[in-house]
Amino acid sequence: MAMYFVSRRFSGGSAIGALRCATFWRPYSTSFREERDTFGPILVPADKLWGAQTQRSLQNFDIGGERERMPEPIIRAFGILKKCAAKVNMEYGLDPAIGKAIMQAAQEVAEGKLNDHFPLVVWQTGSGTQSNMNANEVIANRAAEIIGHKRGEKFVHPNDHVNRSQSSNDTFPTVMHIAASMEINSRLIPNLKQLHTSLNSKVKYGIDRVSCTLPRMYQLAQGGTAVGTGLNTKKGFDAKIAAAVAEETSLPFVTAENKFEALAAHDAFVETSGALNTIAASLMKIANDIRLLGSGPRCGLGELILPENEPGSSIMPGKVNPTQCEAITMVCAQVMGNHVAVTVGGSNGHFELNVFKPMIANGLLNSLRLLGDASASFEKNCVRGIQANKERISKLLHESLMLVTSLNPKIGYDNAAAVAKKAHKEGSTLKEAALKLGVLTSEEFDNLVVPEKMIGPSD
């Protein structure tokens, strides 16, 4: 295996120049090794585990920079899937020594230990082929090291061994489902439930249903290979790998009954994104209501006292902002935007394949992460510490002209309207206006205008 040492300064026309990917250049000399795929040889950084196809993707999809990398839950899900695939493939004849090394390497991926070796961005081939190959190459090279061989020798082959009985067309939708299901169960639902509990403890006002029961998300495409036929797999492979993933994740994964649908459509993702969109709409209203009710302290409504977490202005001393409300409403707006993208992506399944997979996965996972984290932050730093400003609430309540509504059954709409208009024009109370107009006695007014009795139907 050839090793090369090159400087950061190079000619764009050279072979080394073709490696141009600013993220990985260092301000000092670094070494490269040669890797090969069906397009021939290519140089990759010697300290990285990826191979030729990953390097070509780096060259060809320089879009968005490091912040647009494939989401970490997808990478970890690849580790889970490849570990389970190796376990099942050993039952179908894969060399146990190679299979066990793949399982060990894949476990390291699942634990996030090899994240630095997954540099590819979301904006790549729409089937996720390059990220699948990124996983295959990293796991193959790491497995080879575990056995005692060198990177790049392909003693453990990324396609023949790590990707055995698989296609990018079924592995990528499978990791999409694994990643989303794990995020929903570990992050989103627990945080939404805690927020729901806190809201109910304060004002009996919250999201009625936050549990997302999404059985379709637990149906895996694995075993459909390229177009849903199961070409190059053995009978039973699909059910066994779903069972292995279920055991590995402790989630109720099963094999999808219709592999063609599982590859060509992603309705489960659109449906789940729609549920998140609904939750975002609900949270947007809740946060805005809290923001407005907490406005003040002297010129706003001021009915709620919100926790004061940090200074709110660089120029106005003493100002405090409803920052948690602002943060979660921005998150809700982003989730709504993600839902548009996921919807467009889901509608673009053509014939046997949907080639918007990375964008769909990125959008949903981003929504899950943001909603989960924002809900936890909102509950901890805002809702939990909200207090009612009872004095202010009482003052505004008894000054409200709309208490006049309770007079309708006694004096009629027109007379009640006259009372409200007179009180407003003269700056008096409703009672004073009613007595001046002679439509009610003092005792009658007091018996009719009782705010505590105005929150539901009368007997």
Q: What is the mean pLDDT of residues 50-60?
A: 96
pLDDT score at 201: 86
**Is 90 exceeded by the pLDDT of residue 386?**
yes
pLDDT score at 177: 96
85 lies in the same domain as 150: yes
pLDDT score at 203: 62
pLDDT score at 310: 87
Q: What is the mean pLDDT of residues 177-187?
A: 95
Q: Of 345, 363, 390, which one is at a domain's C-terminal end?
A: 390
Question: Is the separation of the CB atoms in 44 and 51 below 8 Å?
Answer: yes
Q: Of 148, 164, 180, which one is at a domain's C-terminal end?
A: 164
376 lies in the same domain as 437: no
Model confidence band, residue 349 (pLDDT cutoffs 50, 70, 90): confident
Reported as a single tens digit per residue, the pLDDT across 17-37 is 444 443 443 333 379 999 999
Domain range holding 257?
193-308+319-390
Whether residue 3 is contained in a domain is answered as no
266 lies in the same domain as 290: yes
- The model's pTM is 0.85
pLDDT score at 109: 98
135 lies in the same domain as 224: no
CATH of the domain at 101: 1.10.275.10
Reported as a single tens digit per residue, the pLDDT across 206-240 is 444 434 445 788 999 998 998 899 899 999 999 99
DSSP string, 382-417: TGGG-EE-HHHHHHHHHH-GGGGGGGHHHH-HHHHH
**Is 50 exceeded by the pLDDT of residue 198?**
yes
Whether residue 249 is contained in a domain is answered as yes
Whether residue 2 is contained in a domain is answered as no
Whether residue 174 is contained in a domain is answered as no
Reported as a single tens digit per residue, the pLDDT across 390-426 is 999 999 998 999 999 999 999 999 999 999 999 999 9
pLDDT score at 202: 78
Asked if omega into 297 is within 30° of 0 (cis), the reply is yes
Residue with tokens 């009954």: 257
Distance between CA atoms of residues 198 and 382, nearest Å: 10
pLDDT score at 298: 86
CATH of the domain at 342: 1.20.200.10
Reported as a single tens digit per residue, the pLDDT across 119-132 is 999 999 999 999 99
Q: What is the mean pLDDT of residues 186-192?
A: 93
41 lies in the same domain as 85: yes
221 lies in the same domain as 357: yes
Whether residue 160 is contained in a domain is answered as yes
CATH of the domain at 427: 1.10.40.30
For 185, which DSSP code?
I
Whether residue 169 is contained in a domain is answered as no
381 lies in the same domain as 411: no
Q: What is the mean pLDDT of the chain?
A: 90
288 lies in the same domain as 207: yes
Whether residue 224 is contained in a domain is answered as yes
242 lies in the same domain as 348: yes
Q: What is the mean pLDDT of residues 122-146?
A: 96
Reported as a single tens digit per residue, the pLDDT across 227-278 is 899 899 999 999 999 999 999 999 999 999 999 988 888 999 999 999 999 9
Reported as a single tens digit per residue, the pLDDT across 294-319 is 999 888 999 999 999 888 878 889 88
The better pLDDT of the pair 8, 370 is held by 370
343 lies in the same domain as 255: yes
The better pLDDT of the pair 10, 69 is held by 69
- Which residues neighbour 74 within 8 Å (Cβ) at sequence distance 6 or greater? 131, 175, 176, 179, 361, 365
**Is 80 exceeded by the pLDDT of residue 67?**
yes
Whether residue 327 is contained in a domain is answered as yes
Query: Comparing C-alpha atoms, which of 302, 272, 264 is closest to residue 127?
Result: 264
151 lies in the same domain as 275: no
- Count of domains for the chain: 3
Q: Of 337, 368, 390, which one is at a domain's C-terminal end?
A: 390
427 lies in the same domain as 360: no
**Is 70 exceeded by the pLDDT of residue 352?**
yes
Q: What is the mean pLDDT of residues 96-123?
A: 98
- Three-state secondary structure call for residue 106: helix
Question: Is the separation of the CB atoms in 403 and 429 below 8 Å?
Answer: no
Residue with tokens 């540099």: 119
Task: Kindly list the distances between the CA atom of residue 279 and the CA atoms of 185, 332, 367, in Å, as whole numbers in the listed order.
Answer: 16, 8, 11
